[in-house]
Amino acid sequence: MTEWDAAEYSRRSSLQEADPSRDMISFAQGHFGPATLPNLRFLVADARSLPFQNEFDLVVSFNALHWIPEQQTALSSIHSTLVSSGEAQLRLVSKGARKSLENVAEETRRTSRWSAYFQDFEDPYLHLTPEEYTAVAERSGFRVLRVSTKDQAWDFGSRMAFSGFCAVGCVAWTSRLPAAERTDFINDVLDRYQAVASPDSGEENIFKFYQMDISLLAI
């Protein structure tokens, strides 16, 4: 929603926004209600089980699909919503040479200080290279039209700002912890992450990630 050009929205005759989070849908409705985009409807729904068949000519998704380990289920569901020769324009975080913040959260939760809280915990995050993602997309009924990846860096400028961002992104991990321990967990993750992503002085609060854009054609 936030990253797609508003002109693209108004150009389309009918739009459907879906997210499994009621809070995200309420937020989006509050900012893009009927007065702004009368052709936009909202739905609380999971990408793995979208309730549409052969309905759309284009699906877009921004930085949501890397939260779905069952990626083929999600891509097959997206494929089902598309008309023949419909397209999916997907942006998500891919796997690259450098460990991700989520890799470091996984390593942190396995350490002796935290492991007791994570019995039966499964990594909530998807880690695929562009090549691996291409293979999953092809197995889900798509032809890959384009794929590109950029190595991105966001400087949060302070530990407080970086830890606020990390606290939101790490809810799947911190929701296992007592409230009083969550800040310590986030700080432990960020201390370890610094050595991975930004070992040089002055780069302490830089978040680095591989941003993949992939265009798919439903065949």
Ligand X SMILES: C[S@@+](CC[C@H](N)C(=O)[O-])C[C@H]1O[C@@H](n2cnc3c(N)ncnc32)[C@H](O)[C@@H]1O
Q: Site residues (CB under 6 A) for ligand X?
A: 1-3, 19-21, 24, 46-48, 62-64, 67-68
CB 105 to ligand X: min, Å = 15
CB 48 to ligand X: min, Å = 6
Pick between residue 62 and residue 121 the one whose CB is nearest to ligand X: 62
Rounded Cα distance, 31 and 26, in Å? 9
CB 18 to ligand X: min, Å = 7
Pick between residue 79 and residue 114 the one whose CB is nearest to ligand X: 79
For helices 179-197 and 159-169, give the axis angle rounded to 10 degrees. Answer: 110
Rounded Cα distance, 187 and 182, in Å? 9
Pick between residue 67 and residue 117 the one whose CB is nearest to ligand X: 67
Pick between residue 65 and residue 204 the one whose CB is nearest to ligand X: 65
CB 112 to ligand X: min, Å = 30
Which residue's CB atom is positioned nearest to ligand X? 64
